[in-house]
Amino acid sequence: MARSRKTRADRERGRVEADCRAWEPFRPKLDAIQSYAEALKLVAETPPPDSPGRRYYSNLSFFLQAFTVPMGSSYAEKALYLQLIHRLNDADALEIGVGQKVEEELWRAMEA
């Protein structure tokens, strides 16, 4: 009996489900970060290319490099980045004014 091929919709659904499964362990790790060094440590755990959830690590890496909102990041990611900026700012880990600027950018991106 011949095996039927998955449709494009089935493949996409599978990709989305795998991505959601990868988000669940990543989210609490991002939420627990208290320092820039811890954030870099999480980025170092980036899975290999084409792995489910890799984009979350890539987005975090991009965010940490320039404190700019990554294109394609979800609302939930942006909300966690906002909390991270608050924690970094409270710990005086950011230059004066950077935290407020990044917060404003994140809020604009979340409202869009």
Mean pLDDT of 67-76: 94
- Domain count for the chain: 1
| Average pLDDT score, the chain | 92
Residue 21 lies in a domain: yes
Residue 51 lies in a domain: yes
Residue 17 lies in a domain: yes
Residue 3 lies in a domain: no
Q: Are 26 and 57 in contact (CB under 8 A)?
A: yes
pLDDT of residue 109: 96
Mean pLDDT of 48-74: 94
Domain coverage including residue 29: 8-111
Residue 81 lies in a domain: yes
Mean pLDDT of 60-66: 96
- The three-class DSSP label of residue 25 is helix
More confident residue, 11 or 94: 94
Residue 2 lies in a domain: no
pLDDT of residue 5: 83
Mean pLDDT of 44-58: 94
